[in-house]
Amino acid sequence: FIAMILFFEDSYDRIRDLMDESVQNGDDKEVKKYGICFKDVEFQYGDNKIINRANFTADQDAVTAIVGPSGCGKTTVLRLLSRLYDYDKGEITVGGEDIKSISTASLFSKISIVFQNVELFNTSVMENIRLGCKEATDEEVLAAAKLANVDDIAAKLPDGYKTMIGENGSKLSGGERQRISIARAFLKDAPIILLDEISASLDVENEMEIQSSINKLIKNKTVIIVSHRMKSIEKVDKIIVMDDGKVVCAGKHEELMKCSKLYGDMVRKSQLTEDYIY
Ligand code: ADP
């Protein structure tokens, strides 16, 4: 039994750590407005301060992009907004309500997240999409799948939408997994949409299909996009430039090209990588 006791000790420590985590509180309430505001927000992972007095607003029904050097805290901003982590200081509001006063269930019901690393489960394509809205009928799931161009994927699979896709979708390519997660977001139809570097793992063909799905998805929604493809965000309503955990400036592409050296440098570097020839 000695070996088993040693094994249990590790499990016990992990469970203890989880039990020690603070519970995220908040009331179940219906948020009806979706403008987003970060006010002097601070956050650290352990001792490492990542977000340092960040201030910005993202308007309702508008597309806001966050850009900045790698590691400056862009993904962390999305995690804080969706309460995957709780901010330490300052305030984050959605529709004027502090997100810490809203229960995670109420908040999640208003937010769809499409991250670069998609979480899929070892069940069928159909059930993976249905996770976006558990009560959805088969017809609704298929309609969402069509909008995200999942039809082509299902057509190639032996059992169509009923095919089991392996642990975390291991039988699918990165682009295919991403399309399934976009179908989930269509099905959920949440008013706030967070997109994180979604084109990073795609080839050209997949990217074109996803682009058209995404454009349908974000119509009339409050959207925040994190992207390193500067060209793709030139036309959005507002661009937030982050550096080292702070928001250094915000505005439209043309304004930022004139007043932000960091933004101008990023645009030029991005053009260089696009023009790269082997
Ligand atoms: P970006 O999206 O701008 O590239 P991130 O928000 O992902 O940056 O990360 C900002 C910093 O936080 C990085 O230095 C990263 O190493 C660190 N970081 C990210 N996630 C964690 C985590 N779960 N635990 C500790 N540090 C993290």
CB-CB contact of 78 with 113 (8 Å):
yes
CB-CB contact of 180 with 169 (8 Å):
yes
Residue 165 scores a pLDDT above 70: yes
**pTM (2 decimals)?**
0.87
Going by pLDDT thresholds of 50, 70 and 90, the confidence category of residue 241 is very high
| Cβ neighbours for 77, distance < 8 A, ≥ 6 positions apart | 38, 51, 54, 66, 224, 226, 242
DSSP characters over 201-265: T--HHHHHHHHHHHHHHTTTSEEEEE-S-GGGGTTSSEEEEEETTEEEEEE-HHHHHHH-HHHHH
CB-CB contact of 118 with 181 (8 Å):
yes
Query: Is the distance from the beta carbon of residue 66 to the nearest atom of ligand 1 less than 6 Å?
Result: no
> Distance between CA atoms of 14 and 90, rounded to whole angstroms?
30
Pairing of strands 63-67, 238-243: parallel
CB-CB contact of 165 with 200 (8 Å):
no
Going by pLDDT thresholds of 50, 70 and 90, the confidence category of residue 270 is confident
Query: Is the distance from the beta carbon of residue 71 to the nearest atom of ligand 1 less than 6 Å?
Result: yes
Q: Which two tokens stand for residue 123?
A: 């069940």
pLDDT tens-place string over residues 178-202: 888 889 999 999 999 999 877 665 6
| Cβ neighbours for 228, distance < 8 A, ≥ 6 positions apart | 67, 70, 197, 200, 270
Percentage of the chain modeled with pLDDT above 90: 62
Instruction: Looking at the CA of residue 245, tell me the nearest atom of ligand 1.
Output: 10
Q: Which two tokens stand for residue 264?
A: 């101008």
Residue 39 scores a pLDDT above 90: yes
Distance 149 CA to ligand 1 centre (A): 32
Query: Counting runs of H as helices and runs of E as strands, what totals does the chain give?
Result: 10, 10
Distance 76 CA to ligand 1 centre (A): 6
Place of tokens 């190639």: 156
Pick the range with the lowest mean pLDDT from 49-63, 92-106, 111-125, 137-151. Answer: 111-125
Q: Which two tokens stand for residue 52?
A: 């340092």
Probe ligand 1: pick from 48, 86, 241, max atoms within 8 Å of CB?
48
